[in-house]
Amino acid sequence: MSNTFTPADTANYTKATDSVSINVTQATPTITWSNPANITYGTPLSSIQLDATSSVPGSFAYNPVAGTTLGVGQNQQLTAILTPTDTANYTTASASVSINVTKATPTITWKNPANIKYGTALSSTQLDATSSVPGKFVYTPQSGTVLSAGTNTLTVSFTPTDTTNYTTPTTATASITVTQVTPTITWSNPTDLVYGTKLSSAQLDATSSVPGSFTYIPPLGTVLSTGTHTLTTSFKPTDTVEYTTASATASINVITPVQKINQITTSIQNLITSGKLSSGTGRPLISELTAAESSLNSGQTSKATTQLDIFITEVDIYIDSGILSQTNGQLLINSANAIIQA
């Protein structure tokens, strides 16, 4: 750098010059970069965290680089190095900030299970939660539990295998509806009933798969007309929380005493045909039944009763002597008694 001096008195003085040297050094750019907000584990570094700015144009190189996933920890250092575009007049510069990485909460996926019927034990079909990371599930209630009917809440506690980077435990809930069960009613069609016989527990004998009470229509003690009738029962379970009411029907034929005698006669003829009774011993029984039928047709009920009593006595003798089996003989006796008692 030079400077020329011109004196005011140019008559007596000449101009004079002099020079000096100066050194100009490169400037250091100013970098502005605040500590980023906390992030949870699993969040890759991006321009949200790596967002340093400079007072001059240039490019930044970060360490760790964008896309890096940091482990859980406090005050982890991030570094930025600036290379200015004008490298003649500006030096490179660097800056550092710290970031906190907090534990992540695992994501549990668990849909409400489909309805189940009372009595169905909980299994992996209902207890089927999944997690975004490996770990162990503990369910409440546990597998094998039988829930009451109604809406029930299921809970799961999840402990991740990686407890360094994930919170523990994590819980979730699901809702399940347990529906009532309809009891099973067993009721076979009763055998033919002789007209005049009152309905009794012999006909109204439905049973259920669970405890409860039956109501019958027609009720006990009813005398039905001849013909085919439908019997109905309504069942109320003792446990009305878990079980619904239920109903069932049965069919019964009401026949005349004469029709019943004909049935007994047919039974004896079948025994003779099958060889379970000889024709010689079977025919007297048929003769007694024929006589009783004749008495009934002529209105002599008491005489028919006496003849049926004789029939029963004869069958008893056949049973005792081994001519008739106990089973077959008792069936004939029961049939004859049904006519007498009607």
Q: Are 106 and 170 in contact (CB under 8 A)?
A: yes
Q: Average pLDDT over the chain, rounded to whole?
A: 96
* 131 and 169 belong to one structural domain: yes
- The two tokens of residue 70 are 């940091």
Is the overall model pTM greater than 0.75, yes or no?
no
Of 102, 127, 150, the residue that ends a domain is: 102
Predicted confidence (pLDDT) per residue in 98-138, tens digit: 999 999 999 999 999 999 999 999 999 999 999 999 999 99
CA distance 153 to 315: 67
CA distance 187 to 190: 8
Q: Given its phi and psi angles, is residue 291 left (phi above 0), alpha (psi -120 to 50 degrees) or beta?
A: alpha
* 166 and 214 belong to one structural domain: no
pLDDT for residue 24: 84
CA distance 247 to 139: 38
* 30 and 42 belong to one structural domain: yes
pLDDT for residue 228: 98
Neighbour count for residue 111 (Cβ, 10 Å):
8
Of 116, 150, 179, the residue that ends a domain is: 179
| Pick from 37, 96, 31: nearest CA to 63 | 96
* 93 and 9 belong to one structural domain: yes
Predicted confidence (pLDDT) per residue in 34-58, tens digit: 999 999 999 999 999 999 999 999 9
Q: Are 204 and 218 in contact (CB under 8 A)?
A: no
pLDDT class for 97, splitting at 50, 70, 90?
Answer: very high
* 155 and 216 belong to one structural domain: no
Of 179, 209, 237, the residue that ends a domain is: 179
* 198 and 269 belong to one structural domain: no
Q: Are 149 and 179 in contact (CB under 8 A)?
A: yes
Percent of the chain surpassing pLDDT 90:
93
Q: Which residues contact 302 (CB under 8 A, 6 or more apart)?
A: none
Mean pLDDT of 137-141: 98
As for how many domains the chain has, the answer is 4
* 10 and 84 belong to one structural domain: yes
* 317 and 275 belong to one structural domain: yes
Which residue has better confidence, 19 or 49? 49
Mean pLDDT of 206-220: 98
* 326 and 276 belong to one structural domain: yes
* 7 and 78 belong to one structural domain: yes
Domain of residue 272 covers: 257-341
* CATH number of the domain enclosing 127: 2.60.40
CA angle 36, 40, 42 (to 5 degrees): 115
Q: Which residues contact 137 (CB under 8 A, 6 or more apart)?
A: 127, 129, 131, 156, 157, 158
* 47 and 62 belong to one structural domain: yes
Query: Which stretches of 57-208 are assigned E, i.e. beta strand?
Result: 58-63, 73-84, 93-102, 108-109, 116-117, 130-131, 135-140, 150-160, 170-179, 185-186, 193-194, 207-208
